[in-house]
Each structure stands twice: as structure tokens, then as C-alpha cells.
Amino acid sequence: MIVGGNILAVAALAGAMTGAPPTDRCVEVVRSLAGGGFPVEADLAPTTCPAVIERAFWFDATSGVVRAQRDIAAHEVVAAPPRDMLALHRPGDPITVEVLIGPVRVQRDVLVVRPTRATQPLLVRSHDGSTFVVKGAP
């Protein structure tokens, strides 16, 4: 069964990459991305579109984020993926989880286990190997 949200997401992604895109629908890839990789907002910079534009991203329903459909070289100009479908963090990214309980602040360095968008909880792994979900502000 296909969830309605996924259908809308795929349609939005396909629409952004077909036909003659407006000038604000292209991005320059700041750092090279491997095929299958998870781009984050910092990897992409808005730019004007060339006459011919190539598709470079696809929505992966399994991970819930956009992925590179091929190797993309640094400074290549491609069709922009929808920003709300980009990964907030990639697997392996180090982050610090901070929890405030009254006057007590607890911090823990962890690694991201799977990519997630800003609206989704993060699955992370601590240095001792335990995994847990982090909800709330990124």
C-alpha cells in the first residue's frame, strides 16, 4: 500500500525536474556527491538554470529523503530537489545530543544511524554502541 504523503512527495520531486525549470529551481553542487549519497542543504547552492538541465536526485521512499541518482561532480548545475525532502543529517554524521532537565544539562556525542528530514526523529548511536531515538529540535 502506498501512503498518500509518498505519492505527493514523488510528484513534487518529479515536477521539479521536468520541463523547462524556472531559474530558481537549479542548484550548484558545492561538494561532489557519490551516487546513492544523501545530499544535505549545505551541499547545494541556488543558481540560475542552464538551457538544458539534468536530473540528479530521486526520492527514496525507504529512507524518506532525497538521494543522488548518480555521481555528481562539484560545481555541477542540476535541477534542485525539494528542500523539505533533503536529509538533515547523513548516516555517520557526528552530532551532540543535549537534554535539559530543570537546571541540569546533559550532553552526549553520538553518530547518526540513518538519514532523516527535519520533521522526523533521529536514530543515533552512542560511543558504547547503544542506539536510541532523539526527538525535538535538531
Asked if residue 7 has pLDDT above 80, the reply is: no
- The domain locations on the chain are 4-85, 94-134
Asked if residue 4 has pLDDT above 70, the reply is: no
Amino acid identity at 80 = A
pLDDT reported for residue 20: 44
pLDDT reported for residue 119: 83
* Beta carbons within 8 Å of 49's beta carbon, 6+ residues apart: 21, 22, 23, 25, 26, 77, 79
Q: pTM for the complete prediction?
A: 0.72
Rounded mean pLDDT, 73-95? 94
Helix (H, G, I), strand (E, B) or coil at 25: helix
pLDDT band per the 50, 70, 90 thresholds, residue 24: low
pLDDT reported for residue 14: 37
10 Å CB burial of residue 92 (0-12, 13-18, 19+) is exposed
